[in-house]
A = this chain, B = another copy of it.
Amino acid sequence: MTPGQKQGGPSVRTIPEGEDRERLVCPDCGYIAYENPKIVVGSVTTWEDGRILLCRRAIEPRRGFWTLPAGYMELGEASAAGAAREAWEEARARIEIDCLLAVYDIPRISQVQLIFRARLLSPAIEPGPESVEVGLFAWDDIPWSQLAFPSVVWSLNEHRARLGQRDFPPGGNPPDPVHGL
């Protein structure tokens, strides 16, 4: 299909022999790129006084907006370890994972988000390369109008609803996710 169109990498959608759905195939070399949903791991991390760690994004999408430390899980990693790695990378925060706070499906962008509840082990935080600013926010000081993604709001609300609780099921998508992401 479309020979001569050399784009570098899998760029043609076709149903490979023996399969039942379209896959992305490289017209140059025939490689089939199996695409799968990606796992985002992150945390609602609090200091001893209950303030919550947020990071202002240095990168797109939503550059300049505030988010939880979170990112794509890497190969060979356990999910909680990935959430701790992201807290380090984005906020130089050393954290201890407590429990799974929420599992969100974002099918529009083929993501599953595993959000943990965690404790900040030292208040010495600073921006990593993907953050322009990091901070600890009391609930009433959270910059609600400048949060990067709906799932940040969902996670914060879930955290608030579970304060003082243990052994609870993780939260999921709100019943009516008006915004897709």
Contact = CB atoms under 8 A, between A and B. Distances in A.
A76 B110 contact: yes
A110 B79 contact: no
A124 interface: no
Interface residues on A, range: 35 or more
Interface stretch (A25-33, A43-51, A133-141, A144-152): A25-33
Nearest to A11: B31
B36 A36 contact: yes
A55 interface: no
A84 to B, nearest CB: 13
A88 interface: no
A112 B73 contact: yes
